[in-house]
Amino acid sequence: MLDPSQTIERLGGIARGSHLQRLGLTRTQLSRAVRAGKVQRVRPGVFATHDLNGDIRTAATHGGALTCASALRAHEVWVLPDDDGLHVWMGPSGRVHNHADCSCTSHFYTGTPPFGYASIETSLLHLRRCAGDEAFFAAYESALRLKLLRRAARQRLIAALPASARWLVDIARTNADSGLESLLRLRLHLLGIRLDCQVEISGVGIVDFVIGGRLILEADGKVNHDGKMRHKDLVRDAAASARGYETLRFDYAQVLYDWPTVQAAIIGALRRLREYA
């Protein structure tokens, strides 16, 4: 006789009751397993093991599968915006199931949601529709760096993008060090400013970007630089200055939330360097 808990575990930890019945389990067996605490009924007709990932359980309770930013974060892809609740793919006509403390964002996009996670390529497409080109570009470069997109998946993704957005894939790189760097490079690309990325300068080390052979841009991560790291940055900046470079260093909050100031600083520095060339 089939064991409900073991059967659901083999199916990935979650399954529809109709599927389980086709495999030979009866409604009575499933009800007994729920009452005994061996499995959980997450919503009518859907059953899960107790050790199922919490976000997957919540998405299934809501009525769909993790997608967009939530699915990408689960694969450690760098994603904008900051964590804003679970994004759940409902399909084009899915029904939202009320549940406690719901802060889910429902995506009624075409296709049939799986149980669990949407694929990386599908999640990227949903992210672009949900959060825009910048979020898509940064996440796409992060997925490339993590080697999460095989060639066939990249081709399907490109084909699914509108023609107006395919240039984002064309300029993407596989060696972007962070999503912050991806955003910086994309925004300067739109201004017609070309950057050389991950440049090694003798006596300085590898810097994030160089513009025009003389302006160094460094994009610091979300964690503040202090102590030894801050001292190391100052030593590098001094060494770069001695070799004729100007260094501009921006942090996470500046790039994301104060871009006009960052843009003005870069353009001003480029103007000064041209004047004294």
Pick the CATH number of 179-275 from 3.90.700.10, 3.50.50.60, 3.40.960.10, 3.20.20.140: 3.40.960.10
pLDDT above 70: residue 277: no
pLDDT tens digit string along 142-161? 999 999 999 999 999 999 99
Question: What pLDDT score was predicted for residue 69?
Answer: 96
pLDDT above 70: residue 43: yes
Q: Mean pLDDT over residues 106-114, rounded?
A: 95
Q: What is the pTM of this model?
A: 0.87
HEC sequence for 183-219:
HHHHHHHHCCCCCEEEEEECCCEEEEEEECCCEEEEE
pLDDT tens digit string along 17-33? 999 999 999 999 999 99
Instruction: Give domain limits for the chain.
Output: 4-52, 58-170, 179-275
